[in-house]
Amino acid sequence: MDEHSSNPNPDHPPNEALNLSAHEALGLVSGTGLSHVFACLPGTVWTTDTKLVLTFVQGQIIRTYDVAPEKLIGRTLPDLVLDGREDHPLIQGHITALGGHEASVRIEWGGNLYNARIAPLRDATGAIVGCVGSHQQIGWLPDDDGLLRESDMRLHRVIDSNMIGIAFGNDEGQITEANEAFLHLAGYTREDLVADGISWPALTPIECHARQMAAIDEVRQTGRCTPFEVDLIRKDGRRVPVLVGGARLSARRREGVAFVLDISEKRSLRQRQAAELASADALLDAPSPDAAVAAALDALCRTLGWTAAEFWHRPAGGKLALAASVGASSADAATIQHAALRAVEKSDPQWSDRQGVLAVPIVTDDSASALVVSGGDAAAPEPWIVETIRAIGSRIQRFRGRGR
């Protein structure tokens, strides 16, 4: 085989073709214009600087959306296509490339599936000056004939499951949409949401507004906020302890989503344990039986939020008498005594919403007692509060029985 038979182009020797520079090689296809070659690519090619500002873009996406590249160059990738989501795989791929490593990611955008490859863009010295990327469509998610995209279906399944309250809104605190779990938790109807609207400031106590604003600032800066506990004020005025977390959906439209979990049982269990442990410690540490009972009542008030507590006792065959008192005023004496007497006689807790007095009986075969608290929440006490007071009262009664 001679030289001419192995060389398809005798005017250009093989060694000359192998020594072409990259720039010269590209020039071989520039007869129709290099920009035309990029414009006809079955994919998209782009470059960015180190701040993810677009410096070049050509290819399929330009044709699909009929937009001039000049309108895209100079804008950041999150601003252009990802609506501010810094945690999107494409952004993470660019961050990986800026760290010196190539990355391959699969993304969904506009109902289509793409495979993207991002690599470090280096200058002549080898320093990383940005990223170079390309992506090609590998499939699509049908959304015709009323079909939802897969991601939309997953989201709707989570929302409609109502296992947790979900509310959508803006950074001004206005709630624009919510699922049934959230509306039930807040005590509102969907008609309330549509007609009058619901705002986060109206749902949270004034003392919690600073924490709420801190969460909004955190979402603006990082795209999400650390979950925090707060009281949710229901439409009927009752407070419900909840755990709230949030994430940004759109930086441009300033929209976000909040996830709200009812933690009433968790908080009540925590409060009950704290109250019972504090009262038990008080009974053990006090210098005398009478001082011990007073200390236990004081611990009860501090942990459960009551301002006054009294322990009344009636021995077998005797009359009901006051055994210990903490924080009660003389003006409340008659009301508290009446509540204690009715609780013992009826063997049933007595609650007066007018005076804010709760009397819980502790009845045994040979005696009866009543633990009365007042000055707490105006709402009727929940069952766990009654049971906690009963447990503390029973412990006090046993303590007094051993001490006598």
Tens-digit pLDDT profile for residues 381-391: 888 999 999 99
Residues 6-42: pLDDT tens digits?
Answer: 444 444 444 333 343 434 434 444 444 566 676 677 8
Per-residue pLDDT tens digits for 250-270: 656 677 889 999 998 888 899
Q: What is the pLDDT of residues 112-162, one digit of tens each?
A: 778 899 999 999 999 999 999 998 887 765 544 444 455 555 566 666 677
What pLDDT does residue 87 have? 64
Angle at CA of residue 269, ends 268 and 270, nearest 5°? 90
Between CA 207 and CA 380 the distance in angstroms is 23
At 218 the pLDDT is: 86
Whole-number Å distance between alpha carbons of 100 and 173? 41
Predicted pLDDT of residue 156:
62
pLDDT for 2-13, tens place per residue? 444 444 444 444
Average pLDDT, the chain: 80
Amino acid at 219: V
Coil, helix or strand at residue 314:
strand
List of domains in the chain: 36-140 (3.30.450.20), 150-262 (3.30.450.20), 267-403 (3.30.450.40)
Cβ-based burial of 230 (10 A; exposed 0-12, middle 13-18, buried ≥19): buried
Q: For position 51, what pLDDT does the model report?
A: 92
pTM of the model: 0.52
Instruction: State pLDDT tens for residues 282-339.
Output: 998 878 888 899 999 999 999 998 999 999 998 877 888 999 999 888 777 888 899 9
- Give the pLDDT confidence of 296-311 residue by residue, as tens digits: 999 999 999 899 999 9
Under 8 Å CB-to-CB from 10, ≥6 apart: which residues? Answer: 4
pLDDT the model gives residue 298? 93
Give residue 82's pLDDT band: very low, low, confident or very high (50, 70, 90).
low
The per-residue pLDDT for 60 is: 82
In this predicted structure, the answer to whether residue 209 has a pLDDT above a threshold of 70 is yes
Quick check: 370 pLDDT over 60? yes
pLDDT in tens, 210-220: 888 888 888 87
Residue 15 identity (one-letter amino acid): N
Any idea which residue has 């998610």 for tokens?
A: 141
DSSP 147-211: PPPHHHHHHHHHHHH-SSEEEEEETTSEEEEE-HHHHHHHT--HHHHHHT-EEHHHHS-GGGHHH
Mean pLDDT of 95-106: 91
Please report the pLDDT score of residue 278 as a whole number.
Answer: 92
